[in-house]
Chains A and B, each alone.
Chain A
Amino acid sequence: MLMELWVVPALPLAGFCVLALVGKRLSRWLVAGIGAGSVGLAMVGAIYFSHDFMAFEPTGHLYRESLWTWLNVGGFSPDIGLYLDPLSVVMMLVVTIVGFLIHVYSIQYMAGDEAYSRFFAYMNLFVSSMLILVLADDLLILYLGWEGVGLCSYLLIGFWYQSAANARAAIKAFVVTRVGDTAMAIGLFLLFTQLGTLDIQEVLVRAVRQWPVGSATAIAAAGLLLAGAVGKSAQLPLQVWLPDAMAGPTPVSALIHAATMVTAGVYLIARMHDLFIIAPPVQTAVAVIGAATLVLAGCSAMTQFDIKRVLAYSTISQVGYMFLALGVHAWSAALFHFMTHAFFKSLLFMGAGAVIISMHHEQNMFKMGGLRKQLPFTFWTFLIGACSLASLPLVTSGFYSKGLILWSVWATGHPVLWGAALLGEFITSVYTFRMVFLTFFGEPKGEVSARPGPIILGPLVILAFFSTVAGCVHIPRPLGHFRLFARLVEQALPVPPMQPLPIATEVVFQLLMQGSVLLGVAFAYVLFLRRNDLVAAWTARPAGNALHRFWFSGWGFDWVYTTLLAKPYVWFAHASRDDAFEWIYRGIGAINRGLHEQLSRTQTGLVRWYAVGIVIGAVLLLGLVVFL
């Protein structure tokens, strides 16, 4: 039976409380047990509830659970309540399953760290916040999870706080996402002021009833929520925090990129889809932002040296695909790609982590190479993840999810966006296989100092399995037309407005996409394995060099923000250190002191001066009396 759903987010939260309060006094095994165990239990609970949900099919395909009224003032009474529908079922399952595997992996990966309990405490809080976010019944409680996720990213990116650079990256992540959050908060004010509630379902119902399609208020509300989504999901123009977020330990990156945080924006838009549908310009903006982001971030990914930064830019790019799908109303496609991406991206991050600890914490791919032989296990699992990221045909889950996105974009009548997405496919396979070739092929350049242990490899194998088979839940028409995933999700989200195109067209477009992917692999093979000299020759030229640096630095966004915002802010802050208003009061004080000095000079102590004063005064007074 569907009851006591609150247990799912409460378990990791309880884990956090225990670890934060007494974690230091517990043995390492106990810490690991509580940390991973609480998420594991949450996963069991999530699977149990999902099973019940699908088995019993509650009326309206949703289940609500109200815990208590958060507050009740002047008609504003948000509930602390949970909401389960197919959308949140998918999110909850992915968050807990991937989150649990990352926790297990961390048991060994973080084993040498002295702040072991602090790490697991933050990770548990992270998972708990994300679960609150995806299960929230009310926008205010969603905002609680939303901010909790932002806080945890700050805590974990700056986990190794001794280095100032890490702490800076953490602050950057928090502040940049807070910019989006603030826009979102204003959006909530607007929604409440206009609609009188923040209950998600009620907001959607009333918005559709009150606002005509394309009304200014709807556009403003959807736009403000989009700004929040863009911040959390690291899309243009707020994507700058994510590449720097690599400062955190690798499991953290896996958690941020795969299961939590960056997908929050995708979830928000999917959850509020009715609002976005009645704001067509915002919907278009979502698609355009997605398409632009996926190309820009892909170009940056091709130029990175640091294996984790390649993956970071690839996340931005892949979330761009999800935004693109959302923008063309292909809701289930976006969610499908979210799921497969969670599997293969966490696999890639954890594989990269295994490589990094095997190489004395070396992250530069140009100092790796030839690891295929030395780390075969890691290599094969990483390769499976990479193939899925590049969406190689038939045997990878990425093939099915991205294929669905591209097809939906075309079939909903967006040829330009489709072109960008196709270009993105090519770029994706170039940077993915560049990464694979540089790391695992060629001549060995570094020493392998340690081999990853079984607790690290176990999650990799499981995720490799998922990365391969997860695509089977939705198979396109030319290959068999199996729509399990879409059928489930379409209980909660509308069906995309696709044109009825013939199967032959779909086959052609599948082939086009595969052509672009395979071309990318071949390109990477030639440039980064056979003819390294070609790349060197290109980047040696001034134009090539400039382009390389431009892409490498993420298209100059950081520079613009630093110059236009951060530096002036710091300058003004330092200028305000001594408080400009202070001068007003100093001035008043100085005038007083000046008067005091002038007047005290008249107190000479000489009787004749006083006598003169009295006489002058008397004359003046008499004169006044006489002449006035």
Chain B
Amino acid sequence: MMLPVLILVPLIFGVGAYVAARVSVAAARWIALLSLAGNLGLSIYIWIAYFGPISLAGVTGPWVLEWDAPWIAPLGVHFHVGMDGLSLLLVVLTNLLGVLSVAASWTEIEERPGFFHLNLLWVVAGIVGVFLSLDLFLFYVFWELMLVPMYFLIAIWGHENRVYAAVKFFIFTQFSGLFMLLAIVGLYVLYGSQTGGTFEYANYIGAPIPRGIAMVLMLGFFVAFAVKLPVVPLHSWLPDAHTEAPTAGSVILAGLLLKTGAYGLIRFVVPLFPWAVADFRPAAMTLALIGILYGALAAYGQTDLKRLIAYTSISHMGLVLLGIFAWNSLALQGAVMLVLCHGLATGGLFIFAGALQERTKTRDIRVMGGLWSTVPRMSGATMVLALASLDLPGLGNFIGGFLVLLGTFRAYPVYAAGASLGLIVSTIYSLRIIQAVFHGEKTVDWKIADLHPREVAIMAVIIGALIWLGLYPQPALDTVQPSLNVMQQTPARGPAQTPVDATPGAP
């Protein structure tokens, strides 16, 4: 019963915050903050209570927690949610970034705060639902559920060009979601009868799908996830959406929404269509390389701070894509680690950009510079985040990046070597952030306040988590490992299927 609670809490308290805002804005903020904090507490409780080595030993099957109820009986649709290590960590990340987003928008959002928090909490609910759904139909419902509130967040509370960005975001995700819906329906129509007429995801694993059809269906899923991740050239919505969204929106977009794409690839695309994925691998890896280098290059060219950070996400997600398609223990663990740490580090960078914009009313880095002595706390915190995004050892992103490259190198050394160039280009754009904002001469003599205690606390949480994941990532790795093992083995179960990749190091 805990899993539906994780989804229902933000849904219900979102409405609560909306109602409360009519009486008191502060009450709405507190309701949103505390409900997400409670949700975070619950997910951490689940982690400790159910994912310890002792509790895990008693678990049979892939799902540590599961909850199933019939929903649309004639179609065989179930409200079936389940949690393994992978979804647990992503749910923890979702709630953590949700709390931080509410905290980061504490003074930024003045307009219609009740509706703002309703949307924010509903996005969180949708994302948690996406990470927990085991029924393909339910998955699609949550996939759409996170889209609509996000659209409102950008369109109502965004910056100058918000409507354009929101519509672009909506069209891209909606259109690509349609491909996924077609693929889901295709799976159901073609193979549903053999698997008991359900949308149950696990039933389709190992289904005897001919190669050509598998490729078409796989591409349907891939397009939806590739838009979210994003994969160049489907990234076009991202810079606009990230730039125009309010701080909380950018944090959720970069920290979580992109991760649903990575999650979808790991959870659905590879296990469902191992053969098609193997055929598609060279193309996907090439796209990943292009993304890494192009994203970094474009990031360096930007003058809008949020746009710059947005492009760095494209570069990092290229590495995630590479790791997923390399599909061995090291690379997959690296991809998951990168997903978590990128969520924290880039979320933190967007919080910094939002804090700076709130103070200076601009995002143009050409009018900044030399701010170090003015805002030393902000400078120090941003420096750490920038170092995280250039993969400095000791911070979590390094573990992720290094594992992805190490794992990829085993099987595809040329792609790994090419992707290693990302280490150089990420240095160039990360230092540009520091250089343009904090170093150099003062272009404008800004008189702005340093980070407030609330913002210091946000940054401390993020940086603390990054250092923890950088120096002792084992608890997170151990939590994810069993679910990755299951997914790496699944293809072998089906008829006429062989494992995508025999991993020498896999336990």
| A interface list, Cβ under 8 A from B | 20, 24, 68-76, 80, 114-115, 140, 143-144, 147-148, 151, 154, 158, 161-164, 167, 171, 174-175, 178-179, 181-182, 185-186, 188-190, 192-193, 569-570, 572-577, 579, 581-582, 584-585
Contacts and interface: CB of A to CB of B under 8 A. Distances in A.
Contacts of A69: 474
Contacts of B507: 74
Contact of A72 (B372, B394, B435, B477): B477
Given A148-B394, A175-B428, A577-B303, A74 B503 contact: yes
B45 interface: no
A178 B423 contact: yes
B333 A74 contact: yes
B392 A151 contact: yes
A147 B392 contact: yes
Interface in B365-403: 370, 372-373, 376, 380, 387, 392-394, 399, 402-403
A189 B416 contact: yes
Given A161-B439, A185-B423, A73 B477 contact: yes
B370 A162 contact: yes
Contact of B424 (A148, A175, A192): A175
Interface stretch (B21-29, B83-91, B120-128, B231-239): B231-239
Contacts of A192: 406
Contacts of A171: 428, 431, 435
B424 A182 contact: yes
Interface of B: 232-233, 235-236, 239, 294, 297-298, 300-303, 328-330, 333, 370, 372-373, 376, 380, 387, 392-394, 399, 402-403, 405-407, 409-410, 413, 416-417, 420-421, 423-424, 427-428, 431, 435, 438-442, 471-474, 477, 481, 503-507
B409 A193 contact: yes
Contact of B431 (A76, A154, A179, A189): A154
Contacts of A148: 392-394
A72 B474 contact: yes
11 contacts: A24-B376, A73-B505, A74-B329, A163-B441, A189-B406, A189-B420, A193-B410, A575-B301, A577-B298, A579-B239, A581-B233
A582 B298 CA distance: 12
A190 B410 CA distance: 8
Contacts of B301: 572-577
Nearest to B172: A585
B471 A161 contact: no
Given A151-B392, A175-B428, A573-B298, A73 B333 contact: yes
A26 to B, nearest CB: 14
B474 A181 contact: no
Contacts of A162: 370, 439-442
A320 B13 CA distance: 67
Per DSSP, chain A at the interface is helix
A273 to B, nearest CB: 24
Nearest to B428: A175
A582 B300 CA distance: 17
A193 B413 CA distance: 10
B149 to A, nearest CB: 24
A179 B372 CA distance: 27
A384 B416 CA distance: 51
Contacts of A573: 297-298, 300-301
B440 A76 contact: no
Contacts of B435: 167, 171
B420 to A, nearest CB: 5
A189 B300 contact: no
A582 B387 CA distance: 29
Contacts of B441: 162-164
A188 B416 CA distance: 12
A529 B123 CA distance: 78
Contacts of B330: 73-74, 76
B440 A75 contact: no
B472 A68 contact: yes
A139 to B, nearest CB: 11
B48 to A, nearest CB: 20
Nearest to B295: A576
Given A147-B393, A162-B440, A175-B428, A71 B297 contact: no
Contacts of A140: 393, 402
Given A74-B505, A151-B387, A182-B420, A164 B440 contact: yes
Contact of B423 (A72, A164, A181): A181
Contacts of B471: 70, 80
Contacts of A577: 298, 301-303
Give 7 closest A-B pairs by Cβ, nearest first. A74-B329, A74-B505, A75-B505, A573-B301, A189-B409, A144-B393, A161-B439
A143 B393 contact: yes
Contact of A576 (B297, B403, B474): B297
B160 to A, nearest CB: 17
Given A72-B477, A147-B392, A581-B235, 7 more contacts: A70-B471, A70-B472, A74-B333, A74-B507, A76-B330, A143-B393, A162-B440
A562 to B, nearest CB: 14
A80 B470 CA distance: 12
A181 B391 CA distance: 12
Contacts of B328: 74
B329 A73 contact: yes
Contacts of A190: 409, 413
B440 A182 contact: no
A68 to B, nearest CB: 7
A415 B208 CA distance: 71
A182 B421 contact: yes
Contact of A572 (B297, B370, B427, B481): B297
A114 B328 CA distance: 51
Given A186-B420, A189-B405, A585-B236, A579 B473 contact: no
Contacts of A115: 373
A71 B427 contact: no
A594 to B, nearest CB: 17
B406 A75 contact: no
Contacts of B473: 70-71
A75 B504 contact: yes
Contact of A178 (B373, B380, B409, B427): B427
A161 B424 contact: no
A179 B423 CA distance: 8
Contact of A71 (B236, B399, B424, B440): B399
A181 B239 CA distance: 30
Contact of A161 (B302, B380, B440): B440
A570 B301 CA distance: 7
B451 to A, nearest CB: 14
A282 B341 CA distance: 38
A164 B373 CA distance: 15
A114 B439 CA distance: 16
A162 B471 CA distance: 33
A518 B473 CA distance: 59
Contacts of A74: 328-330, 333, 407, 503, 505-507
Nearest to A146: B393
Contacts of B372: 161
B236 A174 contact: no
A571 to B, nearest CB: 9
A572 to B, nearest CB: 6
B7 to A, nearest CB: 31
A167 B439 contact: yes
Nearest to A577: B301
Contacts of B421: 182
Nearest to B296: A573
B385 to A, nearest CB: 14
A193 B414 CA distance: 13
Nearest to A69: B474
Contacts of B300: 569-570, 573
A171 B303 CA distance: 18
A107 B239 CA distance: 47
A55 to B, nearest CB: 33
| Max count, chain B CB within 10 A of own CB: residue among A158, A178, A179, A188 | A178
